[in-house]
Structure 1
Amino acid sequence: MSRRIALVTMGLITALLILAVVPLGLSLTANERASFRFAVESSARQLSAQAEEYLADHDPPTAMNQALAEASEGGDCAVVLRASGQVVATTACASGPPARASVLAGEVRSGAEQTAFAQQGDWLLAAVPVGDDGHFAGVAVLARSADPVNDRVGEVWAWLSVTGLAVLALGALLARRLARWVARPLTVLSSAASRLGDGDLDARAPTGEGPDEVRELSAVFNRMAERTASLIGAHREWVADVSHQLRTPLTALRLRVDLLADDAEQETAAEMAELQVEMARLASLVDGLLAVARAEGELPRPEAVRADQVVAERVAAWEPVAADRGVALDAMHTAAQPTLAHIGPGDLDQMLDNLIANALDSVPEGGHVRVSATGGRAAVVVRVVDDGPGMSEQARATAFRRFGRSGTGGSGLGLAIVNRLASVNGGRVTLEHTPGGGLTVRIELPAQR
């Protein structure tokens, strides 16, 4: 964003400079050349006035010769011609630049009382008629080099260019500062919003930088973050407090039931066993609530994790449970290289524990559960595939909600924990139908680059 602001500002400054400097340079150049042309014409008219005393008034040529000498000393070339075209007097360089004097004289004779100009290389020639009252006695031609005016024009354009470049450099500096002043608070605000979205509830944006609108936006964001942190914190504390408060009486109650079951008569032993099962289920539910609270409260620090190795470890850990239930549990890894996922340490272990436990609960004896990890350049995919009864489309739509019924008889918190851990690590979880019957849980995680 800052680059776009700087480029737009620089474009505006450049356009303004072009619109200001170029017309000014052209105007100054035109003024210089007009002044030079007027000066040449004035000098030619002075020479014509001196030549008129000799050609028209028949006075001695002293004044005319003096005017020619002054023109020669000033670097000009001049020549005086009679009406017939005969050269009366000339400066030392008459054979050089004023070579077109006769041509200009003819133009003046044909136009009478009219000044003629011509350009010969770097020289400007001006021809003025000699005479008055309609009496044409001759022509005075003066040539002056345009080098000095060209030098002045070059200096004008040089100064304008230097000034324009200096203003452009200053504009670039100001544009950069302006862009940073506007964009930096927005960048910081975007970073704070990203951290808040990733679970960092302490993320806040500075409110003392940038334009008033950006400061107001930062203040609104901070109020929203405070409210969000307050609500989530209160929710976490409530779940944790309830879970901790329930665990103590549950533990004491289980101990008493166990003691009563040992001393119970045969008639009540079956009832006591069912009571122990329900208490174990309630204890599992409390543990699930604590796991959800921990999953929602943790901010992962992603690192490179061998997904294929984690799959092999968790399958080996759950194999005795699967064998006891008569279920085949296999780990499959077909990639030639290690599959590296960019996630928090221990998160994939926890996700697989929940998924394998759910799969073993849903698959009947003689069933099969397969766990695999495949890698790519952008993502690592972990699949837990079973051939159990599967889930209906309606059940899959609500399976990630807390206490959602998955049909396995569990607490309804396992898939919610898996979905939470995947999302905070930048991944996602999807539930698919297994060909031939069953459920496939697909976890897509970012790959380690």
Structure 2
Amino acid sequence: MKRLIEKGLMFGNLIPVTSPVLVERYNRALKALTGKVTALSEFHIDIAGQSPEVADELGDRFYLNHEGVNRQFILLTTEQKTAPLLDATFSMSRGILRQFIEANERELFALTARDAVAGELVNSVFALDTPQRLFDIRTLTVEADTTDGAVATAGALKGLIDRFRTEDEAWHDDVLIAQMIGLAKKTGDITRNPLSLRQMSFVQENFWTAHFGGLYAFRGVDHPAAIAMGPADWRESLPIPFVFERGERAAIAKFLQLNDLAEPIVQARGIDAAAILRQKMDFIVADVASGMGEDLTGATRRDLRRLARRYHGQLPEEWHGLSDLVRWAEDGGPWPRIDSDHPAYFYMLRATDHPDADLVNQLLSELSPKDIRQLFICHKQAFYSAYAGWPEEKQAYVAQFLATEYAVDKAGTRAALFGHEAPMEEPRQLERDLVARVGPWGAVERQGE
């Protein structure tokens, strides 16, 4: 993985924490959330405040995400909104955190100028002991406060101020006045500088989770189903009409078609379909050639064409199917009959333009794993897992390709691949106002995304 880190393809865009003041604030929040502290003087954090260096020190990759539910977070700066989320166990977690930061950016900027803000993504499930429990997750609420409870204190003061303004005898209530003065010493003048965070809850019907070998749940579609990436001998117990395993290709293809979730690349408007398909073919050639011990350092498209000729007999059906499709797109050749049983089928699809396009593209990347670019863009955890098992020659080629062909223009590459795709769709916030909640300090003892 060192090569990926050096090229900024792993742990990229993390926020450095180098100031003793920020380290001290981080430790206060970490202590409040987990009972632990770090002895490190410098480290990096993701959007949730999780640090790979601290995780290594504590020997716990999930120290802010115990059992993978009710994720806890630590905010030292609003700049964390652009950072990735490491070791995500649910697809919606990063989107929720980013929306929370953006919706409260001014308030968080003021709060983090004096203290760390910490909290949880709270739902009603605290442990996933069975797959059925996944389907109890529907609404996630963000709870947050500073380590000294400034937001909760300000909320209490606001309540006292409202009483003082509305109760007839409040001017003569010495206890009430004394309470307001005591709280105001901690918060300052909240009438001029409000210390509050917008209460936010999110409904997520469709999501991916890393639990139980990886599972995609699509509940908010016309024909609901779950797709398991591993064995699903528990499928009969799930409260959803259909559960498909990864190998049930025809069923998955039918599910995507019935719900209008995917479309053939060659039928998509506004993209160079043939160029995309040729690039996928190159990735497959690189996979075969690297397995034969070929040095792919600095390999160009011409080099890969030469290798395709050399190893033509070893190229898999995915390559031949895509080749037939390119021939049809470019030269008007016969339409290739590529059904869902053909290994190339999912390589020729992309998500349609709908709110869960990113989730569908992630699913398709797992069903077409030799397309290393889509796998890296849409499902980094699966990419890193696959990368660890590749031969050295393929690792070197892939790292170099991604650093030179993708990282230099991420937005442009995504637009060229997916066309209509806008920035990743975020979970939907509930339209109703929520009852104001206290800070998370009574809730953080609950384990947990």
Same fold per superposition (TM over 0.5) = no
Per the normalisation by structure 1, the TM-score is 0.18
Per the normalisation by structure 2, the TM-score is 0.18
Greater helix share, structure number: 1
Question: Using CA pairs below 8 Å that are at least 6 residues apart, which structure has the higher relative contact order?
Answer: 2
Greater strand share, structure number: 1
